[in-house]
Structure 1
C-alpha cells in the first residue's frame, strides 16, 4: 500500500494556539523567582544591621546572643525557601519539556520542507535523518498529543480535575498540562462554593491567601479581587449576626472592627485619589502628570460606592428587600469567576478553553452557505405554509374557505414533493442536495438529510452555527463524485462542468462513470416522460438524445438523464 503523502503545515499558523503552552510555566517560574528574591533580600537586609551591631558589642555573651539570632533568621529563611526551591525545579523541568515538545514540530516541518524541495532523491534519503514517508506518523503522533492536551484543558476548566489527572496519567502528559494550577483553583472553588450536601459554610480564606501570594500581579493588573473578598467577609459577619435588636447590637462590633481594619484604608485611598484627580476651585486646568486614567477613576468610584453601600448592612439584617443583592449567595459565584479570570491572566492562559478556540477557527474556515442550503430550503417550504394563514384581526372581512383550502392543499403537495426529493435514497445513505460527505460542517441536524446507520445526528454543523462564515478570496469547488478539489493546473488538471439542471462536477469524473448510450430498442421504445418514474426530465431531452445518436449523461445526485451536448464548461472566478 502506498504511503500517504505528507504536506508540511504552516508552522506560524500552527503555533498560534501554542503560545500559552510555553508561557504558563514561564510565568510561574518568574513569579516564584520574584518570591524567592523578595524573601532573600528581606532576610539579608535585616542581617546587615545586625552585622553593624556586632561591632559595638561589649561582651562575648552579647555577641554570641546576636549571632544566635542571625542563625535563627537564616534557618527560618531556609525553611521558607525549601518548598519554593522544589516548585522552581518543577517549573523549570516543565518548561524544558514543553520547549522540547514545540521544537519537535519545528523539526518535523523542517525535515518535510527539505524533503519536498530536494531535487536529488538518493542524496536526500541518505542525508536526511527522517525520510518523507516517516514524517507523516511523527506529525500524526504530535497532533494526537496536542488533541489530548486540549481535551485535558477542557476537563480542567470544567472542574473535572480527577478525570483530567487520570486521562493525563494514562498518556504521560503531566508536564504538558497545568494540573497543579487548576487543582489549586478547584480547592478555592470548593471553599467559596461548597457542595450543599457537605454542610460547610462558604469561606474566603483560601481566596485571600491566593491574593496575598499573587499581590504584585493583581496590583499590576489593577484588580480589585482582594477588596471584593474583604467586602464579602464583612457581609458574612453582618449576615451571621442575629436579627434581634439587643443580640444583633452585641454581635456587630466584630463586623465594625473588620470594616475599620480592611475597608477603611482602601476607602480613604480612593477618596484621596479622587480628590487629587478632580479640578480645584472650579478651574478646569488639571496637571497632566497627576491626571488619572479612566480605569483608575472607575475603580476609585466603585470602591467608594461599595463601602458606602455595605455599611448599611449594619442596620439592615438579611431577609428583606433592601440589600438583597449583597446578601445573595450568588456573589460567591461571581467572586470565583473573577478569581479564575485573574489566575488565567496571571499565567497567560486564554479565557476560554483552547479546544473551543481551535474548533471555532477550524469550523469557521470550513463553513459556507452551501452547508445549510438543505435546512434553509426545508424551512422556506414550511414558512410558506405558515404564511398562507390570514392574520386574525378585529374587523376583518369574511375569509373564502374554499380558496384557503386549495392553497393549503397546494402547499402540502409541494412539501411532500420536496421531502421526497431529499429522502429518495436507501435508509443507510446520507441524502442532501448540497451536503458534502467529506465536510464536517455538513454533518448537522435538520439539513434535509438522513442519518447514517450508527451515526450521530448532532454533528459539528450544530456548533458551526455559532461561528462566522468563511472568507475565500478565490472560489474552490469540490467535485461531488470524487470529493477532490477541481483545479485547472498541475498533474491532475481538470475542468468544472455543469449539467442542464445546474449540478456541477469535474469533467473527468463525470465522463468516467456517468456517460451512457441508448440501445437500439430503447431508441425505438416510447417512454412516458414526466410521471415521476422516468429518468428523463422532459420529452425534449430524450428526443435530443435520440437525435444525437443516443449518448446521454446521468446526474449522480438526481439520476436524471440529459443530452451530452448540454454539458457546459464553468469558469471559476
Structure 2
C-alpha cells in the first residue's frame, strides 16, 4: 500500500457543509413553492365546489363562466409566481449545487496525494476556507475580493454570511425585526429542532417595552406574542409579567438580569448558533478545524513550558498557533521522537543524541557544526559555563 494514496474519506470529512448549504437553500425554495401551490390550488378547489353546488340548484351560465375565468386567472398567477421563484432562486441554487458536487467528484478520480490534480484541488479548498474565515470574522470585503480573483463564486457562501451579518448588525442596534422575519421563514425547521430563538426575541421586545415603561403596550404584546408559548415557557412568562412592577434601575436579581443590556449579545450568539445549525455549518471556521488536526499531532507539554525549552521549528511553540492549539489534546506517540532544540531535526541513529556532563542533550549534527566553529569545543546554549571538547561528549542511546 502506498503512503501517498489519497484518503478520500478523510478529505470528505470537512465537506458536509459545502454540499449541505445549497441543499438547504433549495429545500426552502421547494417549501415556498409547495405552500403557494397548496394555497392557490386550495382556493381553486373551493371555487369548483361552490360552482358545483350552485350549478345543481341555480344554473347560471354567466356566473359559471366568470368563476371559471377566476380559476384560470389564479392558476396562471400561480404559474408566474412559481416561474419567477424558480428563475430567481431555484435554478441558481441548483447550479451552485451542481458545481459543488462536480468539484467534490474530481477527488474520487485522484489516486495520490502528490498528484498535481490534487494540489490544484487543495489550493481551491484553501481559498474556500480562507473566504469562510474572512466571512466569520467580519471581513466581507476581503472575502468578496478573494472570491472574485479566484473565480469561486459558486463554491463559497458569501450571500449566506452577508445575511447573517445583516441580522446580527440589526440585533446590535437593538432591533429584533430582521431576526424575527428569519424565524418566520424557518419556523418549521426551528420547531423541529425545538429551538426557542423566536420566544427569546419576543421576550426581549417585551422587555424593551417594559424598560420604556409602556405598560399598556407591553401587556398587549405579551398577550399576542408570549402567551402562545405558555405551555413551554410558563415560568418565564410569569416573571416577565411581574417585570412591569419593577423599574429598569431595580436591584432585585431576577428582574435586574432581565433588564441587563448584555442580553442582546446573548441573542446574537443564539441566532448565530441557530442559523449555523440549520445550515449545517460548524461553529468554528473550517480553516481552524483543519489546523486542529495538524496541531493535535504536534502539541507537547514543552510547547507551553519555559521559552528555553521550546523548539524554534515547532509551529505550536509560536504565540499565535500556541493560542489556537490550547483546546487541542496533547499528541500521543506510541514511539517517542526526540527533536534537537537547536536545529529542529529528529535525533536518530544517523543523527545521534549527544549529552553534556550536566545532562543536556543535543543532536550530533548541531554540535559538530558548533565544534567546527570553535576549534573543537562546544558550549551548552542553556548553560554557557558548560564548555568541553566535542570528543568528550557522551553518546545517548534510546531504548
Same fold (TM over 0.5): yes
Residues in 2 aligned to 1:240 and 1:304: alpha-carbon distance in whole angstroms: 24
2:21 and 2:305 map into 1 onto residues whose CA distance is: 43
Residues 1:205 and 2:177 aligned together: yes
Is the counterpart of residue 313 in structure 1 residue 315 in structure 2?
no
Of residues 216, 226, 242, the one that matches 1:253 is 216
Q: Which runs of 5+ in 1 are unaligned?
A: 1-5, 114-131, 195-201, 242-250, 271-299, 376-431, 445-457, 488-493, 518-531, 538-557
8 Å contact kept, 2:342–2:362: no
Aligned to 1:503: 361
Alpha-carbon distance in 1 for matches of 2:371, 2:229 = 86
Distance 1:186 1:496 in 2: 54
- Does the 8 Å CA contact 1:495/1:569 hold for their aligned counterparts? no
Aligned equivalent of 2:43 = 46
* TM-score, length of structure 1 as denominator length: 0.59
Partner residue of 2:69?
Answer: 68
Question: Which residue, out of 193, 198, 201, partners 1:221?
Answer: 193
Do the aligned residues in 2 keep the contact of 1:161 with 1:183 (CA within 8 Å)?
A: yes
Aligned to 2:105: 103
179-188 or 57-66, which deviates more: 57-66
Pairs aligned (count): 381
Residue 346 of structure 1: CA displacement?
Answer: 0.5
Structure 1: distance between partners of 2:212 and 2:77 = 38
Instruction: Give the RMSD, CA atoms, in angstroms.
Output: 3.4
Q: CA 1:359–1:570 in structure 2 vs 1: closer, same or farther (change >3 Å)?
A: same
Is residue 33 of structure 1 aligned with residue 30 of structure 2?
A: yes
What corresponds to 2:89 in structure 1? Answer: 87
Q: Match for residue 382 of structure 2? A: none
Q: Residues 30 and 360 of structure 1: is their aligned pair in 2 closer, same or farther, counting only changes over 3 Å?
A: same
TM-aligned CA distance change 1:533 to 1:213, over 3 Å: same
Partners of 2:147 and 2:128 in 1: how far apart? 8
In 1, distance between residues paired with 2:157 and 2:258?
Answer: 34
**Which residue pairs with 1:185 in the alignment?**
164
- On the 8 A contact 1:441/1:460 being kept in 2, the answer is yes
Aligned match for 1:435, one of 311, 317, 321: 311
1:168 aligns to 2:147 (yes or no): yes
Which structure is richer in relative contact order (CA contacts within 8 A, separation 6 or more)? Answer: 2
Deviation at 1:216, TM superposition (A): 0.8
> Is the alpha carbon distance of 1:66 and 1:369 closer, same or farther for their aligned partners in structure 2, counting shifts above 3 Å?
same
Q: What secondary structure, in the 3-state scheme, does the structure 1 residue paired with 2:147 have?
A: helix
Shift of 1:76: 4.4
Rounded to whole Å, the distance in 2 between the matches of 1:147 and 1:264 is 49
Q: Work out the CA distance in 1 between the residues paired with 2:98 and 2:44.
A: 36
Distance 1:176 1:498, change over 3 A: same
TM-superposed CA distance for 1:515, in Å, is 11
Q: Secondary structure, in 3 states, of the residue corresponding to 2:194?
A: coil
Structure possessing the higher radius of gyration over alpha carbons: 1
Residues 52-61 or 206-215, more deviating = 52-61
- Structure 1 residues 253 and 148, CA, compared in 2 at 3 Å: closer, same or farther? same
SS of equivalent residue, structure 1 residue 499? strand
Greater share of helix: 2
Inter-CA distance 176–482: structure 2 relative to 1 (3 Å threshold): same
Equivalent in the alignment of 1:275: none
- Between 1:206-215 and 1:257-266, the stretch displaced more is 257-266
